[in-house]
Amino acid sequence: MRPAHPTEQAVGMEHYASDADGVGGQLREDDEHFRVRELERFATEPVDAPTDAYPHLVFRVTLSGWDTNDFASRLSDALGMSRERVNWAGTKDKYAVTTQLFSVYGADPEDLPDVDGAEVEVVGRAGRSLEFGDLAGNAFELVVSDPDRPANAAEITDELHAFGGLESPDAAGVSIGVPNFFGQQRFGSRRPVTHKVGLEIARGSWEGAVMAYLGNPTDEEPEGTQEARAFVQETRDWQEALERFPNRLRYERSMLHGVVECDGEPGPEEFRAALERVPSNLQRLFVHAAQSYAFNLMLSERLERGLPFDEPVEGDVVCFSDTDAPEGLELPDTDRLQRVDERRVRSVTRHCERGRAFVTAPLVGTETELADGEVGEIERRVLDDLDLAPEDFDLPGEFHSTGTRRAILVRTDLESETDPLTLSFALPKGSYATVVLREYLKVDPVDLG
């Protein structure tokens, strides 16, 4: 089994599913080389619908060079309203061309500002805001720049086709399967610490969580930033650290302001309040990243043990497909779960073969029930190693999580072109294009963007 890049191993992705050498190269040499389009699933009324019943304006935005959070902040500033009134279904990357829906409470079409790098198309009105996950998935068109071994793409495709539990590929098109890891950007592509913050929160250490975010310098950052992080980590001199952290690190500075402004020596409540100064979606992300890290470790252990991803073994928990998914997209519905005992293995396997059921692993929270058998042993071992338990996620405010389960395999139809090497595919919501691309490139995840 081929070991993953050390940076990927640090966030729980310890192996590749394919053994062939990667094609090399890099992604995102240009924003145009990484195109993402949401597969929408959100009902709207006409734009002239009454605003008392439909107060949320919904619009489609194509962004170039904009992180979703940054664009939301720019939008709320221009509208003169709280950023909490701007909502979206999925967070997209800055170095890409992305098309996605936004909603704003209490705005009219003529209020929307002109923003460089943003093309806005009003869609309609809705009775509620967009919520995270209000989409079916995303379609990707990705160009690999300067590949060293482009011909290897065909061998990798064959291996991933087999990993997905599929028959021999045909000339018309190829379906592939990869472990449904959380990609590097879930944890921070250049500074993977988000899960470390979440682990400290789940363990009840609010100071540890703040320090995990403020400290932990990495070589990928500018020297001045590294020095500022090292300083606060060594001294706990909050006021001086505030002077040293650059203005562009606004979340770090916001946390530092929270600590500096408290009366006396900061304690757990003050550190928690400092964490709560960052946007609510980032607060949730801290805990979600800790859950994602444990999930990745569980998948890596399953790979090591040679257990299948495309079909269940006794003790597994499966979910069933979302019958309202767009045609051609396998979309798991994790609200419909079934535990697989010895009697059900064969029948559930048939459902998995037809794309009607999916083997899952837990994103651990207060309501998580772990699997049985060997799979349950894997789940419990990972949690024990991390000093975590489901009840640890009974947390205040945005940090609380009941948990859920997630499919361990993602399959997609892949189209490819050779000059330039271009890969096109669609993934269900919550799955990462980089977990497909990492199998093809097998490079430092920084080059995956």
Q: Quote the DSSP letter at residue 83.
A: G
Nearest one of 245, 196, 187, 242 to 216, comparing CA atoms: 196
Q: Which of 31, 93, 316, 447 is flagged as catalytic?
A: 93
Stretch (H or E) spanning 376: helix 373-385
- Check the CA dihedral 208-209-215-219 and report its sign: positive
Residue 146 annotated as catalytic: no
Rg (CA), the chain: 22
What string of H, E and C letters represents the secondary structure of 87-153?
A: EECCCCCCCCEEEEEEEEECCCHHHCCCCCCEEEEEEEEECCCCCCCCEEEEEEEEECECCCCCCHH
Distances (CA, A) of 90 to 104, 178, 326, 422, 448: 15, 21, 17, 24, 19
- Determine the Cα angle at 109 with ends 126 and 80, to 5°: 95
Determine the residue type at 83. R
Nearest one of 314, 285, 97, 326 to 195, comparing CA atoms: 285
Active-site amino acid positions: 93
